[in-house]
Structure 1
Amino acid sequence: MTDPSGNLEIQVNRTAAGAQCWIRSTRPVHAASVFIGRTAAETSVRLPRLFSVCARAQAGACAAALEQARDCVASPLTQIRRERAIAVERGREHLWRILLDWPGLLGTAPARQDLRLVISETTRLLAALDAQGDLFHPGSEAPAELARQAVFDAAASALEAQLTRSLFGVAPTRWLDEVIDATRFEHWCRVTDGVAAPLLRHLIDANEAGLGPTDIAVLPDLPDRTLLEALTGPGAAHFVARPTWHGVARETSPYARMREHPLIASLLGRFGCGLLVRLTAALLEVATSFVAGTGPDQAPAPPPAQVNPPGTGVGIGRTQAARGLLVHLARLDQDRISDYRILAPTEWNFHPEGVVAAALTALPPAPDAAWRRRAELLITAIDPCVAFRLHLT
């Protein structure tokens, strides 16, 4: 199948009275309709192949939606392993940006060799977590022990060493324990020579840490029933393309997830909700995702709440993908898909009245080259997950 990612056209018109921003998306947000008529089993296998990024997050949301629609539940251990796999993938997605894009924002070469090592070791981790290839099949049961524990342990150790060398200067767990507020974070930025610290240090020294502040509220924890109504009601097609909550655009992002973490809360107090906080939230998620993905299986999670009476054939699945909340809706008729919808974080964050538009219009006046560089920094920090073109007038 072809990649349905599409792209974003971002137009900013700057005048003496201020800036205006328009965002046009060519993302085929209704691409999941290709699964109408397929069985639940076929869909769970084929749907992740439709996406070039966050395939396991897509698989996790798909499996959860189909399980709810079929009135079945994956074993608690399966749910835990799925979350571990999604955490590994979430960290890898952030590392793509950090290792490839962040150096270029300072005019230095991408850390391609570091990324190759990250991809190699995370691929081994994911293969060990899903040795049978059925972790994301509806109703699956994970084995009590990992079939490839030695492979998993070796990959986790190699990845930890790589993250220590290329990013944190210390092991990720130690970094999480020690870099807990703005003062310690700034000290870390100044004494560390990894890929991430130079950009963060530059933002502080150039007085650019607070660029792009917004007052866009984060997306609340919407109940499944609320999402079900929005995704099946008469305005469902529009909601998937340009979602709002209570008529207002919302944000779902690494910052939205991490805003109450002590480090982010401290940085907010010193620098505000701008560029530095957003980039740091992604870096923080690399460390927390490594811990979540490579640690032991935790206590079983409680089974998901059933929002529909048994036998209705409709299910909601959700997961936290790298860029924000990902929601799937599946409707089954005789175990075949009669409706399938995906609500992705890009549509929230790159809504024409959303956080990206607000951040760009908040940028202060500057010559074209400087303004474009700052705008691209902000777009990279919020991360569209697809290609974008920025037009300035």
Structure 2
Amino acid sequence: MGFEGKVCIDAGQDGRGGATLKVDLQRPQLAQRLLAGVEPSQALSRVEQVFVVCRQSQRAAAMEALGLPRDPRLLQQKVLLESIEQLLWRLSIDLPHSLALGAGMEPFAVIRRYISQQLAAESLDAHGDELIQTLEGFFASLSGVSCSEFLAFDRAQFESWLEIYNGLVPLCLRQVARVSIAPAPEGRGHGPVGLLPKQPVETLGLDQQLADPDIGEKFCQQPSLDQQPRETGPLAYMQSWPLIKQLQQASASPLLLRYAAKLLYLASLISRDALLQPQGICGSVALDEGRLGWVNSVRGLLLHWVKLDASETEIAEYRICAPTEWNFHPQGQFSRLASQVGIDHPQRKLALEQIALALDPCVPFEVRIQA
């Protein structure tokens, strides 16, 4: 197994014919151990080597936690570009592939190379307008509408777009809408899972849990807020957007709800203000014990906590809590939605795969149906 691990999802049935589900997030803590006992600059180099997925976000969180010299604006811009690239990957490659609809590999390869060139640049200012126009064009080719049009959708317009447009994304989402998920079961320990609030990290108390010598490591594996699992990611980021509120009030498909949030988040990032004057994407909090770096990454809130030794030249402890640990918590959002897929579901494996894909783990996942 590599450093980044895997999500293993085993769905079966008990002796009484009821559905069973086991979610095993097999993520080793080796990466965090590799970062202890070294100098801060060396730790940053190791972070860049170890983490392939969301490398820019991991790098930003490490730099914030380590207190290394950085250009805050450029750091946030690179996180946003990575978020755009990852969202486009999911929407144009992974989603259609999961539905056996083919994928827009060639067009995406072109836009990915272009984004990679921008990530390697020391400034986005010189080509900012070109960058935004290029990304807007690719969004329109996938969705059939412009970023500004999608951001202005109300529920009726969203449903009309979903029904009549023939871009790759609406075509995929029409298939996703056919994946039925029953109402949540009552009294089986699968209560509602709330969204991580949109407020400063230091006001949530997560820093205290992460730095706690008794519960810090467990928090990294099974994070919670007020002793409850929460969902993080685009839906949490866009929870106050009118379309999201309208879809929630209408009890829309939980899969469509999350893809609507992804598209809204993506469209909101492809703008001059978001890309050239980014705010609130990453930061740090100085603690009595160590320092916390945080990033609003494409998959959700990413936390790095660092404690230096007495000489303040080497790292004594390093902890990382990634978005996947929130969303695939044993009592988290994946488990709750998966509990609504019974053993008699005609597409049980597909439904579980679509739930996992909508929650977008940062590691590979596998759904196994047990006889």
Q: Same fold (TM over 0.5)?
A: yes
Displacement after TM superposition at 1:113 (Å): 1.0
Q: Deviations over 1:142-175 (max 9, x none)?
A: xxxx4x644444343323222221x222332333
Residues 319, 325 of structure 1: 8 Å contact kept: yes
Q: How far apart, in 2, do the equivalents of 1:385 and 1:289 lie?
A: 20
Indicate how the Cα distance of structure 1 residues 29 and 305 shifts in structure 2: closer, same or farther if over 3 A, else same: closer
Q: How far apart, in 1, do the equivalents of 2:193 and 2:282 lie?
A: 33
Does residue 48 (structure 1) correspond to residue 48 (structure 2)? The answer is yes
Indicate how the Cα distance of structure 1 residues 224 and 174 shifts in structure 2: closer, same or farther if over 3 A, else same: same
What percent identity do the matched residue pairs reach?
26
Q: How far apart, in 2, do the equivalents of 1:150 and 1:292 lie?
A: 13
Residues 30, 341 of structure 1: 8 Å contact kept: no
Displacement after TM superposition at 1:285 (Å): 1.8
Give the gaps of 5 or more residues in structure 2.
Answer: 186-190
Indicate how the Cα distance of structure 1 residues 292 and 43 shifts in structure 2: closer, same or farther if over 3 A, else same: farther
Q: Deviations over 1:59-96 (max 9, x none)?
A: 111111112xx7xx75xxx3233222211111211221
Aligned to 2:268: 288
Secondary structure at the aligned position of 2:229 is classed as coil
Q: How far apart, in 2, do the equivalents of 1:123 and 1:87 lie?
A: 12
Q: How far apart, in 1, do the equivalents of 2:179 and 2:7 lie?
A: 29
Give the gaps of 5 or more residues in structure 1.
Answer: 132-145
Q: Deviations over 1:164-192 (max 9, x none)?
A: 21x22233233323x2x110001112332
Residues 117, 162 of structure 1: 8 Å contact kept: no
Of 337, 340, 352 in structure 2, the residue corresponding to residue 359 of structure 1 is: 337
Q: Which amino acid aligns with 1:156?
A: I
Aligned to 1:12: 11
Does residue 390 (structure 1) correspond to residue 367 (structure 2)? The answer is yes
Q: How far apart, in 1, do the equivalents of 2:29 and 2:302 lie?
A: 12
Q: How far apart, in 1, do the equivalents of 2:5 and 2:282 lie?
A: 35
Indicate how the Cα distance of structure 1 residues 315 and 224 shifts in structure 2: closer, same or farther if over 3 A, else same: farther
Of 236, 244, 255 in structure 1, the residue corresponding to residue 235 of structure 2 is: 255
Q: Deviations over 1:344-374 (max 9, x none)?
A: 1111111112111111111245355x11111
Of 196, 201, 206 in structure 1, the residue corresponding to residue 169 of structure 2 is: 196
Indicate how the Cα distance of structure 1 residues 277 and 227 shifts in structure 2: closer, same or farther if over 3 A, else same: same
Aligned to 2:143: 168
Aligned to 2:188: none
Q: Which amino acid aligns with 2:353?
A: E
Indicate how the Cα distance of structure 1 residues 292 and 86 shifts in structure 2: closer, same or farther if over 3 A, else same: farther
Does residue 235 (structure 1) correspond to residue 196 (structure 2)? The answer is no
Secondary structure at the aligned position of 1:122 is classed as helix
Q: How far apart, in 1, do the equivalents of 2:205 and 2:245 lie?
A: 29
Q: Which amino acid aligns with 1:8?
A: V
Aligned to 1:57: 57
Secondary structure at the aligned position of 2:352 is classed as helix
Residues 11, 391 of structure 1: 8 Å contact kept: yes
Of 110, 113, 124 in structure 2, the residue corresponding to residue 117 of structure 1 is: 110
Q: How far apart, in 1, do the equivalents of 2:302 and 2:284 lie?
A: 18
Q: How far apart, in 2, do the equivalents of 1:196 and 1:161 lie?
A: 14
Displacement after TM superposition at 1:248 (Å): 2.6
Indicate how the Cα distance of structure 1 residues 215 and 303 shifts in structure 2: closer, same or farther if over 3 A, else same: closer
Indicate how the Cα distance of structure 1 residues 292 and 358 shifts in structure 2: closer, same or farther if over 3 A, else same: farther
Residues 44, 62 of structure 1: 8 Å contact kept: yes
Aligned to 1:35: 35
Displacement after TM superposition at 1:379 (Å): 0.9
Displacement after TM superposition at 1:246 (Å): 3.3
Secondary structure at the aligned position of 1:359 is classed as helix
Map of 1:137-286 to 2, 5 A cutoff?
A: 146=123, 149-165=125-141, 167-177=142-152, 179=153, 181-204=154-177, 206=178, 208=180, 215-220=192-197, 221=199, 222-223=201-202, 226-232=205-211, 233-272=213-252, 274-286=254-266
Residues 64, 284 of structure 2: 8 Å contact kept: no
Secondary structure at the aligned position of 2:27 is classed as coil
Secondary structure at the aligned position of 2:320 is classed as strand
Provide the TM-score with structure 1 as the length reference.
0.82
Secondary structure at the aligned position of 2:230 is classed as coil
Count of paired positions: 359
Q: Which amino acid aligns with 1:24?
A: D
Residues 32, 341 of structure 1: 8 Å contact kept: yes
Does residue 90 (structure 1) correspond to residue 62 (structure 2)? The answer is no
- The root-mean-square deviation of aligned C-alpha atoms, in Å, is 2.9
Residues 224, 316 of structure 1: 8 Å contact kept: no
Does residue 320 (structure 1) correspond to residue 293 (structure 2)? The answer is no
Q: How far apart, in 2, do the equivalents of 1:224 and 1:30 lie?
A: 30
Secondary structure at the aligned position of 2:136 is classed as helix
Residues 156, 294 of structure 1: 8 Å contact kept: no
